[in-house]
Amino acid sequence: MCGILAVLGCSDDSQAKRVRVLELSRRLRHRGPDWSGLYQHGGSYLSHQRLAIIDPASGDQPLFNEDQAIVVTVNGEIYNHEELRKRLPNHKFRTGSDCDVIAHLYEEYGENFVDMLDGMFSFVLLDTRDNSFIVARDAIGITPLYIGWGLDGSVWISSELKGLNDDCEHFECFPPGHLYSSKSGGLRRWYNPPWFCEAIPSTPYDPLVLRNAFEKAVIKRLMTDVPFGVLLSGGLDSSLVAAVTARHLAGTKAARQWGAQLHSFCVGLENSPDLKAAREVADYLGNRPP
């Protein structure tokens, strides 16, 4: 839900341009009320509007590697960040943020690190050593992202169109599962699972495999340092998510800090069928409103 805005390779590095980037970044303020950050290196600007979920005390962005030569602004969550940290024993991390691994992974593996990330994310990474940059969006486009081009050849990246449409000659949706590299000057697909080119999936249906994958998908999303709840509609999808969450919440870091009682929410018209069904699910699971 964080908001990112970047202007890369701009011909204008003036204070007026910096102020303009700040003004545009504020258009994304509703996405992240907890922190605002801006980094400038020559004619490149990376800004961030933060909604704090992991390490709210010190995970402010933009984030850096050890010598601050590599800077990154991210919207999203990296579910396997603890595992990735173990693969970087020679690196020192400034924060406990899940997104802190990105700059260090790039330093270690170059542009090909993106498929190591398990999560939902959009990010912009600037390497100040040669003024190169990369932009990437998660496999199926859970996080929103747009790309635009200025008249001076600059590349603009934003979580929402309102961050770039006034200043770009052309703009479009950044495609899911893709990476933009300034070194190659274009987009390429980083997400290439074996089944991607299959017209008809060849894997046989196995309900136990499906259930296991679904539960793992829910459990890894319980990673948080702040209180959270589930949104119930009373339908099958949200009810299953709530049921898995209720079953596994007690063993999480969040439960140790905030308690194992799951809070549920529902939005609907008074006395509507959705509200009635959601109440039945919440009562059955032992949820309660905050």
Q: Which residues are catalytic?
A: 2
Q: Are strands 3-8 and 44-50 parallel, antiparallel or unpaired?
A: antiparallel
Longest dimension (CA), the chain: 61
CA angle 202–204–208, rounded 5-degree value: 145
When computed from its CA atoms, the radius of gyration of the chain, rounded to whole angstroms, is 21
How far apart CA 25 and CA 6 sit, in angstroms, is 9
In this structure, the number of other CB atoms found within 10 A of the CB of residue 257 comes to 11
Helix (H) or strand (E) holding 254: helix 253-258
Q: Based on the number of CB atoms within 10 Å of its own CB, is 131 exposed (0-12), middle (13-18) or buried (19 or more)?
A: middle
In this structure, the number of other CB atoms found within 10 A of the CB of residue 265 comes to 13
Q: What are the residues whose beta carbons fall under 8 Å from the beta carbon of 41, sequence distance 6 or more? A: 71, 126, 128, 131
